[in-house]
Amino acid sequence: MTEIATRPAARTHPGALSGMRVVEMGFAAAGPLVGKYLANFGAEVIRLESRVAADVFRTTYPPFKDGIVAPDRAAMFAFYNDGKRSATLNLKHAKGVALARALIGTADVFVESFTPGTVARLGLGAETLRADHPGLIVLSSCNQGQTGPHAFHPGYGSQLSALAGFVQLLGEPDSTPVLLYGPYIDYVAVGYGAIAVLAAIERRKRTGAGCTIDLSQYEAGLQFLTPTILEFAANGRIPGRAGNADAIAAPHGVYRCAGPDRWIALSVWTEEEWRVFRELTGIVGAPTAAGRRNARRGLDERIGAWTATRDRDEVVRLLRRTGLRAAPVLAISELFTDPQLAHRGMWPTVTHP
């Protein structure tokens, strides 16, 4: 058994989940991130892997250290799995299955994120495992849940974003829908998964009983479209694509500043904010938010002309001094020099074993 990546410094006190053991079988982000969160709070997390079918983040997804593609040089894999231990088993052989079953029998939690039925066919289904160990908490996370007519449909984060309705809403009016960046629904779902596990642990303290959690990533993603879903349920209205426009704030958008690829994000929510913005910039517009929303295109053009000749950071400072909501659109490289992130220790150095 090996460490995947160690913490930047030894713990000075036990974590909230210290003494808990989690066994994890999964790939990519949806399952492993749940294990990562539990490890962050002190749980011992053991990841079971296969040498035959390596995790996609180990072998194909960049970046790789120094550009060399190798299982132990994959940055994404290290990020999703730091703080864990790792063991490889051949689950096509009875001995490998027996070893996995014995290890899971010593655990408090088992997390898996395969297509429904996969672990059951291996002899590691929730019913089998909980018959061995009634106190075991099993979290099964997959695209659309363990049951239903579409439970076995394959897909990645992009397909789930499309199914959940996000993609239909993204983009400019009368334009092609736009995919969300990355596996957004995966990241949403893991928060629900981790919270469900914590709730199950608390329940077990009171009852002594484990449970099986069926987490549909699809359903988790729907929670973040609640206003849009309620709009249709209550009023039968289907919102269209609106670009950067907001249902209330106006102006609300991203505007180019002087220099190559320099932008600010700006939003004005109240009439008082609009009064301050108008006096500060000299930009004219309707006195009401509704009027400004109806004349969005012209207003955006006037704001863009004003910001285009000015330094991004100076514009942000000017607007913020008067209490307006503005932020620079940071490049990824700028995140590493951001003073707020540095102050809060966002970028610790970790040791790769």
Among residues 185, 208, 223, which one ends one of the domains? Answer: 223
- Burial level of 236, CB count in 10 A (0-12/13-18/19+)? exposed
User: pLDDT at residue 206 above 90?
Assistant: yes
Residue 12 has which token pair?
């000075």
pLDDT, tens digit, for every residue of 28-80? 888 899 999 999 999 999 999 987 778 888 888 889 888 988 888 888 888 88
The per-residue pLDDT for range 152-201, each reduced to its tens digit, is: 988 888 888 999 899 999 999 889 999 887 778 888 899 999 999 999 99
Model pLDDT, residue 11: 54
Check whether residue 26 and residue 82 sit in a common domain.
yes
Instruction: Please report the pLDDT score of residue 51 as a whole number.
Output: 74
Question: 247 in a domain, yes or no?
Answer: no
Same domain, yes or no, for 170 and 47?
yes
Judged against a pLDDT cut of 60, whether residue 5 lies above it is answered with no
Shared domain for 187 and 321, answered yes or no, is no
pLDDT digits (tens, 9 = 90+) for 332-352: 999 999 999 999 999 988 777
Residue 6 has a pLDDT of 55
Query: Are residues 211 and 157 part of one domain?
Result: yes
Q: Is the same domain home to 191 and 287?
A: no
CATH number of domain containing 138: 3.40.50.10540
Q: What does the pLDDT read at residue 14?
A: 80
Between 224 and 262, name the one with better pLDDT.
Answer: 262
Query: Residues 171, 61: one domain?
Result: yes
Backbone angles phi, psi at 68, to 5 degrees: -95, 115
Task: Evaluate if residue 9 carries a pLDDT over 60.
Answer: no
Q: Model confidence over 87-140: pLDDT tens digits?
A: 999 888 999 999 999 999 999 999 999 999 999 999 999 999 999 999 999 999
If asked whether residues 151 and 258 sit together in one domain, one would say no
Q: Which residue has the higher pLDDT, 6 or 263?
A: 263
Same domain, residue pair 85 and 182: yes
Are 142 and 58 part of one and the same domain? Answer: yes
In this predicted structure, the answer to whether residue 10 has a pLDDT above a threshold of 60 is: no
- Residues 241-292 pLDDT 10s: 999 999 999 999 999 999 999 999 999 999 999 999 999 999 999 999 999 9
Report the pLDDT averaged over residues 4-9.
Answer: 55
Residues 178 and 275 both lie in one domain = no
In a domain, 151, yes or no: yes
96, two tokens: 């490998």
| Cα distance between residue 204 and residue 108, in whole Å | 10
Please check whether residues 212 and 67 belong to one and the same domain: yes
The pLDDT value recorded for residue 348 is 87
Residue 269: CB atoms within 10 A of its CB come to: 15
Single pTM value for the model: 0.86
Please give the tally of structural domains in the chain: 2
**β-sheet with 263-267: strand ranges across:** 252-256, 263-267, 325-328
What was the pLDDT predicted at 12? Answer: 61
pLDDT in tens, 294-334: 999 999 999 999 999 999 999 999 999 999 999 999 999 99
How far apart CA 270 and CA 282 sit, in angstroms, is 17
Give the pair of three-digit tokens for residue 53: 């079918």
- Residue 232 covered by a domain: no
Asked, for residue 311, whether it belongs to a domain, the answer is: yes
Closest CA to 186 of 145, 214, 150, 158: 158
Do 29 and 177 fall into the same domain?
yes
Q: What is the pLDDT of residue 336?
A: 95
Phi, psi of 74 (to 5 degrees): -90, 115
Range of the domain at 320: 252-343
Residue 245 lies in a domain: no
CATH of the domain at 319: 3.30.1540.10
Alpha helix (H) ranges present in the chain? Answer: 32-40, 56-59, 75-81, 94-104, 118-121, 126-132, 157-163, 166-169, 184-207, 217-222, 226-235, 271-281, 289-294, 296-308, 312-321, 332-335, 339-343
